Amino acid sequence: MRTTYASSIYADHVPQRSAPSVTALEAQGAIVVGKANADEFAWGVCGQNSFYGDTVNPTAPDRVAGGSSSGNAAALAAGMVPLALGTDTGGSVRLPAACCGVVGLKTARGAVPTQGVYPLAASFDTVGPMATTVADCALAHAVLTGGEVPAPALAGLRVGVLTAHPDLGPPEAPAERDERALAHVDRLRALGADVFELSLPVPESDTWAVFYAETAAAHRDTFPSRRDEYGPLIRAKLDRAMTVTAEQEREGRRALEAWRARAAHEPDVDLVLAPTLGYDELPPAGVDELGVRLPFSAYTRAFSYLGWPAIAMGPLQLAGRDAAVVIGAALALEREGGVR
């Protein structure tokens, strides 16, 4: 099937075979009905595309649909399909799910093959399902990973609530307090969870250099040699990525690996509860994506960098080290009435 990576550069690209994640779902009876729109090369948070048009949010047409897997979320919210397959490198499954009021599951790093996916940043890229229910995401996850659907469970879990967005490097100033996730504390406690506020550990130095270096490497064959064929949003981002030095990348990787090692056992929690979106209100359609992308995705990026699985149930996000725990908790919430 024609696969453009949402770019004009690959407007006529037709792969010779399907991705393993697609064939795994097809083997269990899934029927592929089409490809959905996205931000160019999956690098965007608003669902904007200068070549194929911006994705319209069916639940709020005057607001962004979220990105980069925007068409998936829109198709689900509009009732066109029950299941979709997206990619998440810094929030690209979870952000559109939150914007359109559906469910998006970022799988654990390495849990689902990424073959057939044009890389954005190889150390963070994941493939994950999107659906209208947690139950459907859980079923798709079991198929994609060869595992089982976990039982709904929250009782006895230690749940830490983020009241400020996590940082990808030493913060320049304290983050503003954000109490949105605290609205769900009583409900989790009623389901038997031990809930408390927490902060995630912070890397020792800036880890952004790893992301930028890998994006530059992914586009080495076409950027900057075909720079004018890229859309203006990703062009500006790749210009920035090209400035990263080898020394900055090495220091970023050192800090990233140390951060992941530390976060493997600290903090002592089973789950982290947080907002999905960095804003209370969705940005308007047509907003300057370059101006909102960092604060808008502030709650999703850290879990991509850590490699943890995370699920967005609309505006609420659950993350943790163990996918079965994350999915089981989300199933328990959904069984008791959901959060959307």
| CA 31/CA 48 separation, integer angstroms | 27
| CA 273/CA 162 separation, integer angstroms | 6
| CA 288/CA 49 separation, integer angstroms | 12
Would you state the pLDDT for residue 175?
82
Residue 340 lies in a domain: no
Residue 71 lies in a domain: yes
Residue 3 lies in a domain: no
Question: What's at 175, amino acid-wise?
Answer: A
| CA 121/CA 301 separation, integer angstroms | 12
User: Residue 183 belongs to a domain with what CATH number?
Assistant: 3.90.1300.10
Would you state the pLDDT for residue 218?
98
What residue ranges of the chain have pLDDT lower than 70?
338-340
Residue 91 lies in a domain: yes
Encode pLDDT of 160-200 as tens digits.
999 999 988 888 788 889 999 999 999 999 999 999 999 99
Would you state the pLDDT for residue 174?
81
Residue 2 lies in a domain: no
What SS3 state is found at 85? strand
Residue 43 lies in a domain: yes
Which residue do the tokens 């696969």 mark?
A: 3
Would you state the pLDDT for residue 340?
52
Residue 211 lies in a domain: yes
Q: Residue ranges of the alpha helices (H) in the chain?
A: 20-27, 70-77, 94-100, 134-145, 185-190, 208-218, 232-241, 246-263, 289-296, 301-306, 323-335
Residue 278 lies in a domain: yes
pTM of the model: 0.97
Would you state the pLDDT for residue 171?
84
Apex CA 180: angle with CA 203 and CA 277, to 5°?
60
Specify the number of domains making up the chain: 1
Residue 234 lies in domain: 8-335
